[in-house]
Amino acid sequence: MPLIVHQHSKAHLYSFRGLIYFRDLVDLRSTPVTASTPTPRVAVAFHSGYGHTAVLAEAVRRGAEKAGAEVAFIPVDAITDEQWAQLDAADAIVFGSPTYMGGASAGFHAFAEATSGRYLTSTWADKIAAGFTNSASKSGDKLNALNFMTALAAQHHMIWVGLGLAPGWNALTATEDDLNRLGFWLGAGAQTPQDGGTETVHSSDIATAGHLGARVAVQARIRVAGTSALAA
């Protein structure tokens, strides 16, 4: 059955085998931004051993900034006291790690363990959380790294935001250049050849990470605005 793509003012819909899928339901223009809408603060807290995951972290940062957030960019293996304070002040934290040995990297785990004091005091409760990871193999057991990030977020009583994209590259007319080409829902998953430089991070994966950053910024804005409205 052919893939039928419908254009819609707020969403791109496509149907496949009789099912309707929504692509990119987050239309940034549909979120009203007024002078009184507070600027959401998003932090990108990531580890990258060889620079690939850092390219995705940059894309998350750019996506969040384009969606109007103020972004703190935090490589967690060199985190400073000032950056811990930025995490505490953030409305949303996007976690990022390469997948090493079928899970998050030791550098990311060291950071996660260092958050245990904040776990005890629920310092990060009700902040929005999301995650991204990168590995050399198409699967590479990346999902375990994202699962760890969701558990970390849940232990902190954070609110997990998934990728919000339909899976790409999964039909005859689909291509490797689709957004979400690796078909993740929990977060953004990327694949980079292990012997490639940072310039070999796939453009679709960069765009997908950018989408995640924008989505988190929009959701953080809605939450901040809603919390202020309820308090008024």
Ligand X SMILES: Cc1cc2nc3c(=O)[nH]c(=O)nc-3n(C[C@H](O)[C@H](O)[C@H](O)COP(=O)(O)O)c2cc1C
Complex with ligand X: residue 91 or 205, whichever CB lies closer: 205
d(Cα 133, Cα 229) in Å, to the nearest integer? 35
d(Cα 28, Cα 48) in Å, to the nearest integer? 29
Q: Which stretch binds ligand X (CB under 6 A): 8-16, 98-106, 175-183, 222-230?
A: 98-106
Letter string b/e over residues 114-151, b meaning 16 or more CB atoms within 10 A of that residue's CB: ebeebbeeeebeebbbbbbbbbeeeebebbebbbbbbe
Complex with ligand X: residue 6 or 138, whichever CB lies closer: 138
Q: Which stretch binds ligand X (CB under 6 A): 10-18, 76-84, 96-104, 114-122?
A: 96-104
- Identify the residue among 137, 173, 203, 227 touching ligand X (CB under 6 A): 137
**Strand pairing class (19-23; 103-104):** unpaired
- Confirm or reject binding of residue 194 to ligand X (CB under 6 A): yes
Instruction: Check if the beta carbon of residue 138 is closer than 8 Å to that of residue 100.
Output: no
- Confirm or reject binding of residue 140 to ligand X (CB under 6 A): yes
| Residue 83 CB, nearest approach to ligand X (Å) | 19
- Rounded alpha-carbon distances, angstroms, from residue 93 to 20, 63, 173, 191: 32, 14, 35, 22
- Confirm or reject binding of residue 135 to ligand X (CB under 6 A): yes
- Rounded alpha-carbon distances, angstroms, from residue 99 to 17, 85, 145, 153: 34, 27, 6, 18
- Confirm or reject binding of residue 51 to ligand X (CB under 6 A): yes
| Residue 166 CB, nearest approach to ligand X (Å) | 24
What are the beta bridge partners of residue 130?
A: 94
Q: Which stretch binds ligand X (CB under 6 A): 9-17, 22-30, 47-55, 147-155?
A: 47-55
| Residue 160 CB, nearest approach to ligand X (Å) | 22
- Give me the 101-120 binding string for ligand X, x by CB under 6 A, dash otherwise: xx------------------
Complex with ligand X: residue 134 or 219, whichever CB lies closer: 134
Task: Decide: helix, strand or coil at residue 113.
Answer: helix
List residues near ligand X by CB under 6 A. 48-53, 98-102, 134-137, 140-141, 192, 194
